[in-house]
Amino acid sequence: MAIAAGETIGYLGLVDTPGSLIGGKKSKHQVHLEVFTQDPRLDDVLANKANTKGGASYAKVPAELVLHEKKKQDGKNLWVATGDNSLEALVESPKFEKDAAKQEWVSISSGKYVKKEQVELLSQHDWLKIGFKKVDGSGSDGYLDPDAPPTFFTELVNSFDTDKSGELSSEEIQAALQNNGNADQLHKLIVKHPSEWYEKSSASSYLWLEKLMAKIGLPDFDLLVDHEKQRIDKLEWMQSAAKLKFNGEVSHLYPLSIIIKPMVSEHTITTELIELLLGHKNDWFTGERGGKAFASKFKKDYPNVYKYNKTDFVALLNEMLFKYEINGPYHKAHFLSQCLHESAHLDTTLEFGSGVNYDPGRHADAEKNGNTKIGDGPTYRGRGLIQLTWKNNYIRFSKHSGVDCVNDSSLVAASMANAIEASCWYWRFNGAVHKKFDAKGDINILVDNDRDNVKLITLAVNGGDNGLLDRMKYFNLIKTEWGLN
């Protein structure tokens, strides 16, 4: 069925989720989007047997190619071999350049090139070659039994178990979650399994609900099971729509793996944009702006963020901005300009100062912000891209994210995912301006109502106007680059 642009295809649904094992529920309106197929030609489509072209383009780069850098000599561009070799990579929207001898070069990362003939050029229709993979989950009943997990999940967990101890440590889980390669692989899985839209709760595939009810044995747990059965019954539609001739098992695709690429616009934060704003292509997150002693300690204490890979940083930043709906061009322009200043131009995730000035007796606002004893200042000093400060703010972010940064405040600076998420959380829920435009701490609302007011946004982030000119410089540069003037 053809769908025209702008046509209504669905509505916000009221979604109920259990409040706890002993009852209660939480409700919210949201969109539930699924992409699935039963087309018998799926294998041919994934292999692009029709040789379809167009759409997003990619360059598949093999490992161990000699990397080159572009240099100027006598007014001409020369590509000179470096001492480094490539890693296997998939470069989206590759950029090509020619030298004087008409050799074509493809840029595979910031300032690094390989010869065009050494890479495989692909389109978005080459599903298998760009990393999509089929997984057969036929026969699954939808219940993940922790005592007998399916092979797929066992292998997934084992791949995260880097020390092969048989158990996942908190550090291994954190490292796995920060690895964008893991997320990309999971997003590109096409999994065949029974659809929850197909059967009602009386079907044999839901017998595990009764078994679970008997196993848990908590008071009123049967009410929770009844609620789940009602949810299942309301979801069923495939058998009722008999003319469509569905069977129970369909191949599911992760929706955002398909739709997020077309959503990318000219207002996208890229490595190239940030390097342009910073005015250099040096490493990020070195701590060097804090002096030699700080840089040395930063490298030792925060190895997982020190000289963080630029491509991974930009991918993680854009992912978090999407998650927190900081996605309008002015939202992103203000957010990036504030982060660039707050992080000392992407040099640190930790405040350079010791934090003693945030101790009670040293700062008038210490106690009202939760710093009630000597030592709280250094413990809860600024961390993240937007420097999260004060114990009360660490408590709020900890409750929101599930990251226990109250007992271990270093987690906000030691993990790039946490550093970015803490900043996005602050932007949407904890900004310092509440009454103006009835923002209630949501800086997006300030931007929506006064989109060029850097001073107001700085007040919401900083509590004052520290570094205002620097923040304005970055904001105006981004506006110019994105054509927002």
Run means of pLDDT, 10 residues per run, the chain, 485 residues: 75 76 74 86 95 90 93 85 88 88 87 92 94 85 73 80 82 69 81 88 84 77 83 88 83 77 65 95 96 96 94 90 91 98 98 96 95 97 96 94 92 94 96 94 95 97 94 96 87
pLDDT of residue 118: 96
| Cβ 122 vs Cβ 59: under 8 Å | yes
| Cβ 196 vs Cβ 252: under 8 Å | no
As a three-state string, the secondary structure of the chain is CCCCCCCCCCCCEEEEEECCCCCCEEEEEECCCCEEECCCCHHHHHCCCCCCCCCCEEEEECCCCEEEEEEEECCEEEEEEEEEECCCEEEECCEEEECCCCCEEEEEECCEEEEHHHCEEEECCCCCCCCCEEEECCCCCCCCCCCCCCHHHHHHHHHHCCCCCCCCCHHHHHHHHHCHHHHHHHHCEEEEEECCCCCCCCCHHHHHHHHHHHHHCCCCHHHHHHHHHHHHHHHCCCCCCHHHCCCCEEEEECHHHHHHHHHCCCCCCCHHHHHHHHCCCCCCCCCHHHCHHHHHHHHHHCCCCCCCCHHHHHHHHHHHHHHCCCCCHHHHHHHHHHHHHHCCCCCCCECCCCCHHHCECCECCCHHHCCCCCCHHHHCCCECCCCECCHHHHHHHHHHHCCCCCCCCCHHHHCHHHHHHHHHHHHHHCCCCCCHHHCCCCHHHHHHHCCCCHHHHHHHHHCCCCCHHHHHHHHHHHHHHHCCC
Q: How far apart are the C-alpha atoms of 59 and 233, rounded to whole Å?
A: 46
pLDDT of residue 21: 61
Cα 147-152-158 angle, rounded to 5 deg: 75
pLDDT of residue 461: 96
Q: How far apart are the C-alpha atoms of 108 and 82, rounded to whole Å?
A: 14
| Cβ 478 vs Cβ 277: under 8 Å | yes
pLDDT of residue 142: 66
Q: How far apart are the C-alpha atoms of 388 and 220, rounded to whole Å?
A: 41
Q: Can you read off the two tokens belonging to residue 406? A: 């109250």
pTM of the model: 0.55
